Every structure is written in C-alpha cells, then in structure tokens.
C-alpha cells in the first residue's frame, strides 16, 4: 500500500507485536511519525528499532493516569495526533469455559483493557485531535464481536462493545473533523494464536483445522493483511467512510452460524 501520510503523527497501542507492529511499520513506511505504545516497554523499544521515525511509549491503556501522561508526552513532543489505532487488547487462554464458570476477575481484566482502555485512550487522544482540526481513529475489534464464539463470553462482549462504541464515536465526532472506523480481524497468525492454535505445541491445536474449515478462503490471515486495511482507513483516500466495521476475516463472518467449535 502506498498512501501519503507525511507530517502525520500516529499512535498505535499494543504496537510491539502482531497486528500493532505490522500497522506501525506500514504507517511509518508511508511517511507517518509513529508512537508505538505497549505495556511491555522492552518489547516496544525493540520494536521501534525496526521502524524508522518511530518512538516507544510504555503505557497501560487500562490505567487512566498512564494514558493521560502518555498523551501529554505525545503533545509535548509532536504537538498533535492525527491517527489513533486502538489495537491494545487481551484475551484469556486459561479460562475457555462456559459463563457459569467464567471468573469475574478475568471478565474485569478483559473489559479493563479491551473496552475501558480503548475508551480512555480515545477520550484523551481525540481531545488533542480536536485542538488541531481533526483526525482518524481506527478501533480494532474482532470477528467475534460480530459473530460470537463459545467459551469466550468476556472477549466477545468487549469486542461487540468496541463495534458499537465506534458507531457512537463516529456520529459524535464526524461533524468535528474526526472519522472513526473499526477493523474486525478474523483469526490472524500472531505469537498468541500460534501458542493457542497454530504452533506444534498449541494448546488448542486440534481445533485449528476445524476452525479454518469455516473460513471460506481456507487459511489464517496475516498481520500485514490486517494492517493494509487499517492504513487505508487512516489515509486521505477514505475521507467519506466513518462509523463502519470492516471484517478482515477471510469470509468467516459470512458463514459464522455454521461453526461447531
């Protein structure tokens, strides 16, 4: 993808690996100055060594004080934010159980990062955007926010919340110059999904082929394929798109009702 993002400043949360890292690379390759934030400061520092014109930022998106300090740091160093990619998120590998057995503490952990954290970062970043005439927000949800799966009640609820929050943000902010959209990836090959499904020692490896049998394109996606869509939504070419959720899922959501896992 080749778009003009020169003089744009982008914040990518959860940017040290996977979809976040692929997105940070592509934004930088198209001219943006990138702030790559992550809870793991060491991984963030290692990540920006691969990306020209990028800086690391240690930030826990679920911590209001850290978020406010992080946005203040960006404001003092760059003066503005033009692109926000709300990518930070988590899911549980240890509690794939039905809702009657799902720990309330794990519900809180997921909601605090995947939904509340997105709200906290969006609130602070869009306030800075509004001081400078607008910008773009791309929220990362999941296909499971569109078509829920079993044994992931908190994750599916949080990601469905992200999708509807995107719509609410879009109708509030479009008249003020900020476009807000959502990308809902399907299964994507990252370190986390490799550990869960696709690696030789994946804890749910036996489910991988059964899951992919319901993906019409017949394979797992890549972080770069997701990043291309995110960067398109950040680019000038998407200037008449807001409040939308793009499922980048190989067709998973089209046949999701068939799933038996």
- Same domain (yes/no): 92, 136: yes
Residue 8's region, left for phi above 0, alpha for psi from -120 to 50, else beta, is beta
DSSP alpha helices (H): ranges in 56-181? 64-78, 104-111, 118-131, 153-173
> How far apart, in whole angstroms, are the C-alpha atoms of residue 154 and residue 150?
11
Q: Which domain holds residue 205?
A: 189-220
Q: 210: Cβ–Cβ under 8 A, 6 or more apart, which residues?
A: 260, 261
3 domain-assigned: no
215 domain-assigned: yes
- Same domain (yes/no): 193, 88: no
- Same domain (yes/no): 130, 205: no
Name 248's bridge partners. 185
Domain count, the chain: 2
**40 burial via Cβ count (<10 Å: 0-12, 13-18, 19+):** middle
- Same domain (yes/no): 21, 73: yes
239 domain-assigned: yes
76 domain-assigned: yes
2 domain-assigned: no
- Same domain (yes/no): 173, 227: yes
| Residue reference for tokens 């079993």 | 150
What pLDDT is recorded for position 259? 54
What pLDDT is recorded for position 194? 64
Burial 132-164 (b: 16+ CB within 10 A, else e): eeebbbbbbbbbbbbbbbeebbbbbbbbbbbbe
Nearest to 91 by CA among 196, 229, 209, 204: 196
> How far apart, in whole angstroms, are the C-alpha atoms of residue 15 and residue 13?
5
- Same domain (yes/no): 172, 205: no
Q: 213: Cβ–Cβ under 8 A, 6 or more apart, which residues?
A: none
Q: Are the C-beta atoms of residues 47 and 38 closer than 8 Å to each other?
A: yes
> How far apart, in whole angstroms, are the C-alpha atoms of residue 120 and residue 66?
10
Burial 87-96 (b: 16+ CB within 10 A, else e): bbbbbbeebb
Per residue of the chain (261 residues), what is the pLDDT tens digit? 899 999 999 999 999 999 999 999 999 999 999 999 999 999 999 999 999 999 999 999 999 999 999 999 999 999 999 999 999 999 877 788 999 999 999 999 999 999 999 999 999 999 999 999 999 999 999 999 999 888 999 999 999 999 999 999 999 999 999 999 999 999 888 777 666 666 666 555 666 677 777 788 988 899 999 999 999 999 999 999 999 999 999 999 987 545 555
Q: Are the C-beta atoms of residues 97 and 154 closer than 8 Å to each other?
A: no
- Same domain (yes/no): 173, 194: no
111 domain-assigned: yes
- Same domain (yes/no): 197, 230: no
Q: Any idea of the CA torsion for 118, 18, 158, 175, to the nearest 10 degrees? A: 40
158 domain-assigned: yes
197 domain-assigned: yes
pTM for the model stands at: 0.94
- Same domain (yes/no): 181, 200: no
> How far apart, in whole angstroms, are the C-alpha atoms of residue 7 and residue 131?
16
> How far apart, in whole angstroms, are the C-alpha atoms of residue 36 and residue 179?
21
- Same domain (yes/no): 52, 157: yes
What pLDDT is recorded for position 95? 84
Q: Are the C-beta atoms of residues 59 and 68 closer than 8 Å to each other?
A: no
- Same domain (yes/no): 170, 107: yes
The domain that holds 56 is classified in CATH as 3.40.50.720
> How far apart, in whole angstroms, are the C-alpha atoms of residue 198 and residue 188?
10
- Same domain (yes/no): 137, 215: no
């Amino acid at each position: 993808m080749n778009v003009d993002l020169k003089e744009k400043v982008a914040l990518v949360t959860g940017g040290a690996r996977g979809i976040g890292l692929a997105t940070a690379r592509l934004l930088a390759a198209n001219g943006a100055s990138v702030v790559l934030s992550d809870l793991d400061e060491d991984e963030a520092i290692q990540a920006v060594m691969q990306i020209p014109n990028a800086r690391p930022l240690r930030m826990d998106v679920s911590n209001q004080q850290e978020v406010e300090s992080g946005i203040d740091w960006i404001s003092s160093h760059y003066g503005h934010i033009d692109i926000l990619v709300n990518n930070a998120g988590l899911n549980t590998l240890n509690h794939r159980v039905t809702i009657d057995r799902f720990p309330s503490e794990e519900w809180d952990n997921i909601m605090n990062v995947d939904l509340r954290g997105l709200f906290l970062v969006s609130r602070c970043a869009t306030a800075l955007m509004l001081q400078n005439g607008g910008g773009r927000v791309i929220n990362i949800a999941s296909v499971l926010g569109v078509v829920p799966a079993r044994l992931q009640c908190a994750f599916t609820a949080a990601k469905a919340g992200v999708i509807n929050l995107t719509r609410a943000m879009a109708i509030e902010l479009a008249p003020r110059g900020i476009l807000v959209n959502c990308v809902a990836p399907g299964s994507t090959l990252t370190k986390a999904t490799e550990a869960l499904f696709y690696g030789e020692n994946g804890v749910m490896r036996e489910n991988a082929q059964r899951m992919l049998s319901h993906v019409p394109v017949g394979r797992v996606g890549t972080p770069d394929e997701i990043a291309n869509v995110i960067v398109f939504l950040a680019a000038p070419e998407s200037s008449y798109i807001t409040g939308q959720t793009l499922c980048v899922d190989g067709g998973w959501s089209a046949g999701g009702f068939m799933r038996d896992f």
